[in-house]
Structure formats: structure tokens, C-alpha cells
């Protein structure tokens, strides 16, 4: 055996002995850790170490034998280095594992000491020595809580009723109970009845209203009674506070554009009435009270709030309307009832159809429909309201391929002011009386500034050409006749 081969063998034996000694020294280090360490280390230590076999061979003179011996030496050399690396890796891993276990143990003990207060400061309580050195400050003495005698309460300093009520030197400002006493006798519940075979007639819908004349004219919403106009078997009955029976009523007229209707009680009697106020004088934040018949079963329900807005623009049956907004609760069945100001005057007609929600209710300003109510009572329809006889539609640029945005004539009443002026379906309206038209409401605003018989100039585009048309404003009664 050559000297180099003896050296390799001695190194291997030394590594094996070192591993065995290391294994023997591991156990005493932390006896309590033996169950954890032993399953990991022992299998590694017991792994057999491959010792390359060293064989003597007679040297041969031929080149092939010399090449074979050289290759074997290189292989044995590589395997010897591999065994040496493996022998070094085992103690390193064992040392790292032992160090990790020891560190985790110390960390566990320290954390436990922190939580128990043995180490560190884990409390918001100041240390006694620090408290002695800190400058002393006097704490303000707490004001003793006063005992409230519920049987002898002082007069309240704040009242929504007083804060929101308005005053007028010529009018008496009322409290909410006084408002209710003044208006509720003339606030009625309206029911649409349907006859039933062999059964009592049944109410199919309901609403509210208020009496405006002693002979029994009642204002309500058109949508409350419009089903009677389309079904002759239906009829209207009214429940008046203080009466022991319901009273039938006739529909005098309705106006879809403003959603206003007037009905007339059939029984002759001296009825209580409301006072109509001026909604134009309302201010945001002013107190208002609503009385009605929510859900059709809660007659005479009173809710109070403030005016949230006086010019909220809403759409009604394709018509734009400016409505009063309030946080007084207005629910289905309230439609047609009165909205009342601090003087006990009706300043709005409540309308649940306009999209009421919790804390959000709407009412038609009474000043905007006084003319409508008078016209219906006098003529059974609205007379003298401006009328164009044109229905329009707004088209956007991307509505379809090649579309040109604008307001277009969609329909014409025949006969009607628009037809007589020479309009055609498909005309794009550019301006009216010099006002640029970008939406349908622009036309309505210009129309409402005129009266029946006025002439307005429309600039339109037709087949790529621009032209002017003169239109004489007509009367809305013409629409009812056509």
C-alpha cells in the first residue's frame, strides 16, 4: 500500500472516530433535549461512510494499464473528498440545531418573564421611583353629577318647533299641535273602490287629500284617482275625520302634467277647509308638517320636518317639475295630502310617487298649481296653459353609428301648433328665441316665459340644412280635444 493511500485511509478513520466522539459528547450537553435531538442526529451519524477500497496491484508496463490505474486513483480521490465533506457537515448541522434549541428555550423563558412582569415593563402603571421624581400636577376636580328630578324638569332650552318656525307680524305662528288642530279636520283619506260579486266592495288603492271649499272640493294627486277614469266600475269614496261613514266623490278633472286632480264630495254639507299659503316664500330649514293616510290604514298620521330644498327638479310623466324636498316622512298613501307651514297654511301637495324614501320626501309647491286647481274647478280641465304640440327626444353622439347629438322632434300633435308651424319628425332643434337647446327642459323653460298667442322662433336642422320656423303658442285645452 502506498504512502498516499495510507494517508487517505488514516483520514477516513480519523473522521469516523471524530464523528463518534462528537456523538458521544452531544448527549450530555442538554439531557432534557435528547428526545428531540436523537431522532434527528442519530440516523445521520449511523449513515455508513463509504471508504473506497484500496487494492494492491502489480504495475504493468502497457499504456492501457497505466491509464486504468490513473482513473481509479482519481475516482478514489473524489470519493475521499466527498466522504471528508460529509464528515464535516454532520457536526455543523448538529451544532446549529443545538444552538437553535437553546436560543428558543431562552426566548421562551424571556417572553414568559415579560408577560408575568419579571422582566421589562409591560404595564401602563408608572414605576414608583419614576413617579417620585416626576413633577406633581393637580388633577382638576370632577364636577359632581347632578341628580335630575324627572318630576320637576326645567323648561327645555331647545325645540325644533321653535327653531324652525317662521314668524310674520301679520300671522300667528303655531305649534305643531295647533297646526294639527287647524288642518287635520279638513285632511281626508281617499279610497278607490271596486265592486265585488256577492261580497262587500273592496278598496284597491288609497291616497290623501284636503278640502279647499266648504261645498266639498278636494285637491289630491291625479295618480290617486286616474284608475277610475279607465275603469268605469271603480268609484271614489272619502273618509272625513268626525264622520261616521264614507262619502262618495266625483272626479271633476285631472292634469297629468302636474299630477293634480280635483274631486267633489257628493253630499251637500258645510265642510271644514284649509288655508292655501304661498310656497314662494318658503326658506330652506323652515318647519313643515305633513298629514295623511300612509299605507291606506293609518288615517290622520302626522309627521314633521324641515324644508330641505325648494327647487328640486324631478321628472313626472315625462314632464319636468320643480318640487319641494322635505325630511318629513311621506309614504305610500300620503300622496295628495297637505304639507303645512308654521302658520297652518298648506304650501304643498305631498307626492309619494316622486321617489320618497326615509328622510326624503317631495311635495308639489302649491303656488305652482293654484292656477291648475282653479282651471279644473271652473272648466273641468286646464285652460290657458302654453302648449307647443311637440314631443322631443334627446339623442347623444354615441347613440348609434353616425348619430349627431341634439334634441329632435319625436312626435307632433295633429292638429297642433307644431304641425301648423311646419315641423317634421326628425327635425333637430338648435335654438328657440335665441336660446341654445341642449336638452328638452331648455324648450320648456322658454315656453313657460310666454303666454298663449305669443310667437317664438325656432332654428332647426333638416336634411343637413338650417332653417327658421315661427310657432304660435297654443292653449293646452287643444291637447285635450285632439
Express each pLDDT in 281-335 by its tens digit: 999 999 999 999 888 888 889 999 999 999 888 877 667 788 999 999 888 888 9
pLDDT of 389-403, one tens digit each? 898 888 888 777 777
Catalytic center residues: 223, 259, 335
pLDDT of 224-282, one tens digit each? 999 999 998 999 999 999 999 999 999 999 998 899 999 999 999 999 999 999 999 99
How far apart (Å, rounded) are the C-alpha atoms in residues 477 and 294?
A: 34
CB-based contact 227:192 (threshold 8 Å): yes
CA angle (155, 156, 161) in 5-degree steps:
125
Q: What is the pTM of this model?
A: 0.59
pLDDT of 175-189, one tens digit each? 999 999 999 999 999
Task: Please indicate whether residue 300 or residue 77 has the higher confidence score (pLDDT).
Answer: 300
pLDDT higher than threshold 60 for residue 377: yes
CB-based contact 364:348 (threshold 8 Å): yes
Amino acid at each position: 500500500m502506498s504512502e498516499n493511500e495510507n494517508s487517505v485511509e488514516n483520514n477516513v478513520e480519523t473522521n469516523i472516530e471524530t464523528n463518534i466522539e462528537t456523538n458521544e459528547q452531544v448527549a450530555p450537553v442538554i439531557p432534557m433535549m435528547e428526545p428531540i435531538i436523537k431522532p434527528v442526529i442519530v440516523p445521520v451519524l449511523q449513515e455508513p461512510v463509504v471508504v473506497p477500497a484500496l487494492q494492491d496491484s502489480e504495475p504493468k508496463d502497457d499504456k492501457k494499464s497505466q491509464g486504468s490505474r490513473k482513473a481509479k486513483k482519481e475516482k478514489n480521490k473524489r470519493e475521499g473528498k466527498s466522504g471528508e465533506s460529509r464528515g464535516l457537515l454532520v457536526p455543523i448541522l448538529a451544532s446549529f440545531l443545538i444552538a437553535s434549541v437553546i436560543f428558543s428555550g431562552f426566548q421562551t423563558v424571556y417572553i414568559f418573564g415579560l408577560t408575568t412582569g419579571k422582566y421589562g415593563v409591560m404595564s401602563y402603571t408608572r414605576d414608583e421611583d419614576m413617579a417620585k421624581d416626576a413633577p406633581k400636577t393637580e388633577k382638576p376636580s370632577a364636577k359632581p353629577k347632578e341628580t335630575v328630578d324627572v318630576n320637576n324638569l326645567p323648561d327645555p332650552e331647545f325645540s325644533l318647533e321653535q327653531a324652525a318656525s317662521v314668524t310674520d307680524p301679520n300671522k300667528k305662528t303655531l305649534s305643531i299641535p295647533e297646526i294639527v288642530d287647524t288642518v287635520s279636520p279638513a285632511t281626508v283619506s281617499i279610497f278607490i273602490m271596486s265592486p265585488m260579486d256577492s261580497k262587500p266592495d273592496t278598496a284597491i288603492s288609497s291616497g290623501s287629500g284636503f278640502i279647499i271649499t266648504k261645498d266639498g272640493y278636494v285637491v289630491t294627486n291625479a295618480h290617486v284617482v286616474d284608475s277610475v277614469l279607465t275603469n268605469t266600475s271603480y268609484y271614489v269614496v272619502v273618509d272625513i275625520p268626525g264622520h261616521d261613514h264614507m262619502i262618495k266623490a266625483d272626479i271633476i278633472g285631472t292634469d297629468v302634467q302636474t299630477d293634480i286632480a280635483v274631486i267633489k264630495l257628493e253630499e251637500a254639507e258645510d265642510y271644514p277647509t284649509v288655508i292655501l299659503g304661498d310656497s314662494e316664500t318658503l326658506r330652506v330649514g323652515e318647519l313643515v308638517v305633513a298629514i295623511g293616510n300612509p299605507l291606506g290604514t293609518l288615517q290622520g298620521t302626522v309627521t314633521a320636518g324641515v324644508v330641505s330644498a325648494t327647487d328640486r327638479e324631478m321628472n313626472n310623466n315625462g314632464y319636468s317639475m320643480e318640487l319641494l324636498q322635505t325630511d318629513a316622512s311621506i309614504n305610500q298613501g300620503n300622496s295628495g295630502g297637505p304639507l303645512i307651514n308654521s302658520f297652518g297654511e298648506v304650501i304643498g301637495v305631498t307626492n309619494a310617487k316622486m321617489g320618497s324614501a326615509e328622510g326624503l320626501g317631495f311635495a308639489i309647491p302649491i303656488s305652482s298649481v293654484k292656477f291648475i286647481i282653479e282651471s279644473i274647478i271652473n272648466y273641468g280641465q286646464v285652460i290657458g296653459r302654453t302648449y307647443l304640440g311637440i314631443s322631443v327626444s334627446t339623442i347623444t353622439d354615441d347613440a348609434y353609428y353616425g348619430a349627431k347629438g341634439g334634441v329632435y322632434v319625436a312626435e307632433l300633435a295633429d292638429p297642433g301648433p307644431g304641425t301648423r308651424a311646419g315641423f317634421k319628425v326628425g327635425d333637430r332643434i338648435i335654438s328657440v328665441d335665441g336660446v341654445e337647446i341642449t336638452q328638452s327642459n331648455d324648450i320648456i323653460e322658454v315656453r313657460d316665459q310666454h303666454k298663449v298667442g305669443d310667437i317664438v322662433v325656432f332654428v332647426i336642422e333638416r336634411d343637413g340644412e338650417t332653417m327658421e320656423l315661427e310657432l304660435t303658442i297654443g292653449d293646452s285645452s287643444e291637447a285635450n280635444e285632439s
